[in-house]
Amino acid sequence: MTFDKVLLDHGGGGRASHELIERVFVPRFQNPFLKEMNDSAVFDLNGANLAFTTDSYVVDPIFFPGGDIGSLAVCGTVNDLAMRGAKPYYLSVGFIMEEGFPLKDLEQILLSMERAAQEAGVQIVTGDTKVVPKGAVDKIFINTSGIGLIPKGFNIAGQNAQPGDAVLLSGTLGDHGLTILSKREGLAFESSLKSDAAPLNHLVQEILSTGPEIHVLRDPTRGGLATTLNEIAGQSQVGIEIWEETIPIRDSVSAASEILGLDPLYVANEGKLVAILPQSQAEAVLAVMKKNPYGQDAALIGEVKAENPGKVVLKTIIGGKRLLDMLTGEQLPRIC
Amino acid sequence: MKHLSEYRDKELAQKLIAAIRDQSKRPIRLMEVCGTHTVSIFRHGIRQVLPPTIQLISGPGCPVCVTATEEIDRAVKLARNPGVMITTFGDLVRVPGSQSSLQMERASGADVRMVYSTFDALKLARENQNKKVIFLAIGFETTAPTIAAAVLEAKLLGLENYFILSAHKLLPPALEVLLNSGDLNLQGFIYPGHVTTIIGTGAYEQVAEKYHLPGVVCGFEPVDILETILMLVRQIEQGQAKVEIQYKRGSSAIGNPKALNVLNRVFVPCDAPWRGLGTIPDSGLALRPEFRAFAAEDHFDLQVPPAQDHPGCACGEVLRGIKTPLQCLLFRTACRPDSPIGPCMVSTEGTCAAYFKYNE
Amino acid sequence: MCLAVPMEVKKITDNWAVVEYEGTRREVRLDLVDPKPEVGDYVIIHAGFALHRIDEEEAKENLKYWKEILNKDI
């Protein structure tokens, strides 16, 4: 069955998104930077090694426990820069608002953007505002772009994972995605869930201070850990094995996932990172991560293998194995 | 006790695995009837820890997978009516009919909402009096009583804009068809815990007696499934054909008469089309005459042309357990989770989707 | 076939109950469950309905049985 319209699945961050990008966008704008498909483009400009990225935020609801669309818009772009080892400096912001959007809500969003920018140590230096007729967008959409500087000697990219490398995860999975779902109309349930939205650039700087041998950093946002690891396995042409019993997941997240029939390995995070680095460095980096409040639940969750290039395998608690594919479309709550 | 995490215990699981390996001598094929079991088996990697003597095959217990193409086509046709709001479980949104799916209709402007419970759909009906709210009712005996309870409530409230389109399926008639099809080679059944919660074990007793096939009612965690397999291995090695309940915390031999009573007050069995199994007499549920005010088919034109299934699709054989997805020519090539052809690929608990997602 | 999870009953109002599992709370209907649960009981929840009250003693016994029997080598 072919279809000539964009579906919600195409924005889910999984295989459908990737196919849309690869089939429609990459051929049109082809250049070596875009083709790499990393969180930020990295290029040399007058001797400075710069990272540049952009992201749009359309989260519904716009306010949720642990953050709002504003904090998300700052943290997400800061994190995309940090995942290339860059120190983020400047952000742009574009607002598209629906006619009738309450000014009070806008003020609140701006306040949390200010706070997140302060925490990350970035400045919002340029911006744009558009208002569209009622119904043309849902309440408010935000785009942010960011620019950062990569220190000399670092080359962190999805292509660099090597067999034997350790896979570290900075904390618990699924907190953001399940928080958002729990507030959706028709599914609403009460919970103690809280989004993990946070700027990770300081954590990254601390990791980098242990030495230059970090191969890959990536934040498992839409599509979750499973999709992120699949991207890395594909880009580096390596296999990745992770161990179920080592993966930190909060009981509350695990419970909400059971109730909705979702898999936390595929649920979005907004304040977590995956680090892939030589085994010999793993212990030291893990210790550094655990000292940072955004890395206190960090764990060694797996290793990079030469076998099964492009594939991610989960070793289950009972000793079985399961192939972890990329997320296909949106994860839908189910009863069956 | 949380009644969940205890059944993911690594040590207990490993002891059960050792016991299964030790006691399983004859090669056997066991069918897990229920799609939720299929998912759990893949998710926990249970196949790889079993000895080569034990083969698990997946049965027809995924309500999305057995929903016939024409039933989806009717839902799509309904969604195109102006002033209609379609409500359904997330499971059904992506399932392709012959031309379209609810997801595609939503992209084309239809009002399609996902709900967690039929009572959420009732709430939407009360809040949107200007809309006709239709709940697409799928599911087996576990889910059908919840739909029935909502119909009773709608009647009590005098709601005039709430309708259901019933595509419910009943398990025992399908088991009977499977067992009579002649091409099954089976030594035992892993029975669905939550269907049994409602219907009890009566239907399985008949299977045990008539076909000399043992069965165990099974929970959904890895320890449950391993324990069930061990119980089946023991029965088979000893030549027994009993019905046992492993999932005692969630089901019983008598089932849930209260829920069955609600179900029977509202619904009456009717013939129903099953994807892959054809039309099976008395295997579906229709609203009783006194509840026809809520029957979508009585208020909307739901005539659709007869549906053609893809000629290469082996879902029918997969649902009957006589082929694995790997034996289907479309599997992984033309038929993938993002472009599914057959229903077993659409549903997350479909056998083909589970094979695609979890199998090495 | 049917996804259902055990949740603890926190509050009962007529045919509605608030149930909780690890901090996640949801209102569910009690139309279908018999015997009617009490606060503190665990019930099996499917699609917003309690379907079954878990017999705590029986669940404990069953787990104990397997743990014991496995320690003795089956």
Give the tens place of pLDDT for each residue, B23-58: 999 999 999 999 899 889 989 999 989 999 999 988
Least confident of B199-203, C23-27, C28-32: C23-27
In SS3 terms, chain B reads as CCCCHHHHCHHHHHHHHHHHHHHCCCCEEEEEEEHHHHHHHHHCCHHHHCCCCEEEEEEEECHHHHECHHHHHHHHHHHCCCCEEEEECHHHCCCCCCCCCHHHHHHCCCEEEECCCHHHHHHHHHHCCCCEEEEEECCCCCCHHHHHHHHHHHHHHCCCCEEEEECCECHHHHHHHHHHCCCCCCCEEEEEHHHHHHHCCHHHHHHHHHHCCCEEEECCCHHHHHHHHHHHHHHHHCCCCCEEECCCCCCCCCCCHHHHHHHHHHEEEEEEEECCCEEEEEEEEEECHHHHHHEHHHHCCCCCCCCCCCCCCCHHHHHCCCCCHHHCCCECCCEECCECCCHHHHCCCCHHHHHHHHCC
pLDDT tens digits, one per residue of A5-51: 888 888 877 888 888 888 888 889 989 898 888 889 999 999 999 99
Minimal C-alpha gap between C54 and chain B (Å): 5
- Inter-residue contact C19 to B117 (CB < 8 Å): no
Predicted pLDDT of residue A1: 45
Indicate yes or no: CB of B16 within 8 angstroms of CB of C22.
no
Indicate yes or no: CB of A320 within 8 angstroms of CB of B337.
no
Indicate yes or no: CB of B104 within 8 angstroms of CB of A5.
yes
Assign C12 a pLDDT band (cuts: 50, 70, 90).
Answer: very high
What's the mean pLDDT when you consider all of chain B?
92
Domain parsing of chain A, residue ranges: 31-149, 158-324
Chain A positions in Cβ-Cβ contact with residue C2 (cut-off 8 Å): 335-336
Chain B positions in Cβ-Cβ contact with residue C43 (cut-off 8 Å): none
Which candidate from B93, B124, B359 shows the least CB-CB separation from A323? B359
Indicate whether B359 pLDDT > 70.
no
Q: Once rounded to an integer, what is the mean pLDDT over residues B240-258?
A: 96
pLDDT tens digits, one per residue of C42-67: 999 999 999 999 988 877 887 777 67
pLDDT tens digits, one per residue of B123-159: 999 999 999 999 999 999 999 999 999 999 999 999 9
Predicted pLDDT of residue B69: 87
Which candidate from B117, B230, B259 shows the least CB-CB separation from C47? B117
Chains that touch A (3 or more CB pairs under 8 A): B, C
CATH numbers and ranges of domains, chain C: 5-71 (2.30.30.140)
Predicted pLDDT of residue B342: 79
Interface contact A193, partner C, CB < 8 A: yes
Q: Please count the residue pairs, one from chain A and one from chain B, whose beta carbons lie less than 8 angstroms apart.
A: 130
Interface contact A262, partner C, CB < 8 A: no
Q: Choosing among A181, A250, A258, A260, which should be mutated to test the C contact, i.e. which has the most C CBs within 10 A?
A: A258
- Inter-residue contact A86 to A150 (CB < 8 Å): yes
Chain C positions in Cβ-Cβ contact with residue B157 (cut-off 8 Å): none
What proportion of chain A, given as a percentage, has pLDDT over 70? 98
Assign C1 a pLDDT band (cuts: 50, 70, 90).
Answer: low
Predicted pLDDT of residue B317: 83
Q: Which CATH fold topology does A158-324 show?
A: Phosphoribosyl-aminoimidazole Synthetase; Chain A, domain 2 (3.90.650)
Domain parsing of chain B, residue ranges: 65-170+256-299
Predicted pLDDT of residue B337: 81
Minimal C-alpha gap between A335 and chain C (Å): 5
Question: Superfamily for A31-149?
Answer: PurM-like, N-terminal domain (3.30.1330.10)
Minimal C-alpha gap between C21 and chain A (Å): 6
Residue owning tokens 């009096």 = B129
Predicted pLDDT of residue B311: 84
Minimal C-alpha gap between A182 and chain C (Å): 9
Predicted pLDDT of residue B159: 97
What proportion of chain A, given as a percentage, has pLDDT over 90? 75
pLDDT tens digits, one per residue of B54-82: 999 888 888 888 888 899 999 999 999 99
Spans of chain A below 50 pLDDT: 1
Minimal C-alpha gap between B175 and chain A (Å): 19
Indicate whether C74 pLDDT > 60.
no
Chains that touch C (3 or more CB pairs under 8 A): A, B
Indicate yes or no: CB of B46 within 8 angstroms of CB of A3.
no
Question: Superfamily for B65-170+256-299?
Answer: HypD, alpha/beta domain 2 (3.40.50.11740)
Assign B360 a pLDDT band (cuts: 50, 70, 90).
Answer: very low
